[in-house]
Amino acid sequence: MSFSRTIAIAGVLAATAAAAAEIPQEQRRSGFTFMTPETQTMQNDDTANPGMLWVLDGETLWNKQEGNAGKACADCHGDAATSMKGVATRYPAFDKTLGRPVDLEQRINLCRTNHQQATPLAFESRDLLAITAFIAEQSRGSPIEAGSDPQLEPFIAKGRALYTQRQGQLNLACNNCHEEVWDKRLAGSAITQGHATGYPLYRLEWQTLGSLQRRLRACMTGIRAQAYDFGSPELIDLELYLMSRARGLPVESPAVRP
Partner 1 sequence: MASALINVPPKAKRGDVIEIKTLMSHIMETGYRHTASGEAVPRDIITSFICRFNGNEIFRADLFPAIAANPFFSFFTSVTESGKFEFEWVGDKGFSETASASISVE
Partner 2 sequence: MDQSTRREFFALAGGATALAVTLRPAEATPAMLASAIRNVVGSEPVKTGKVKLDIPPLVENGNTVPMTVSVDSPMAPEDHVKSIHVFNEKNPQPNIGNFHLSPKAGRAQVSTRIRLADSQKVVAIAKLSDGTFWSASVDVVVTLAACTDEVI
Site for partner 1, rule CB under 8 A: 45-48, 50, 52-53, 56-57, 59-60, 207-208
Looking at 67, 157, 218, 230, which residue binds partner 2 (CB under 8 A)?
Answer: 218
Does 204 sit near partner 2 (CB under 8 A)? yes
Of 69-108, which residues contact partner 2 (CB under 8 A)?
none
User: Which one from 73, 111, 177, 219 is the annotated catalytic residue?
Assistant: 219
Contact 227, 217 (CB under 8 A): yes
Respond yes or no: is residue 174 known to be catalytic.
Answer: no
Does 122 sit near partner 2 (CB under 8 A)? no
In the list partner 2, partner 1, none, the entry touching 7 (Cβ below 5 to 8 angstroms by class) is none
Q: Please classify residue 4 by burial: count the beta carbons closer than 10 Å to its beta carbon, then call 0-12 exposed, 13-18 middle and 19+ buried.
A: exposed
Within 13 A of 135's CA, how many CA atoms are on the CB side? Answer: 26
Within 13 A of 166's CA, how many CA atoms are on the CB side? Answer: 6
Looking at 217, 237, 244, 249, which residue binds partner 2 (CB under 8 A)?
Answer: 217
Closer CB to partner 1, 12 or 204, in the complex = 204
Looking at 206, 226, 229, 232, which residue binds partner 2 (CB under 8 A)?
Answer: 206
In the list partner 1, partner 2, none, the entry touching 60 (Cβ below 5 to 8 angstroms by class) is partner 1
In the list partner 2, partner 1, none, the entry touching 218 (Cβ below 5 to 8 angstroms by class) is partner 2
Does 207 sit near partner 2 (CB under 8 A)? yes
Closest by CA position to 28, among listed 236, 172, 192? 192
Closer CB to partner 2, 35 or 173, in the complex = 35
Looking at 42, 131, 136, 209, which residue binds partner 2 (CB under 8 A)?
Answer: 42
Residues annotated as part of the active site: 219
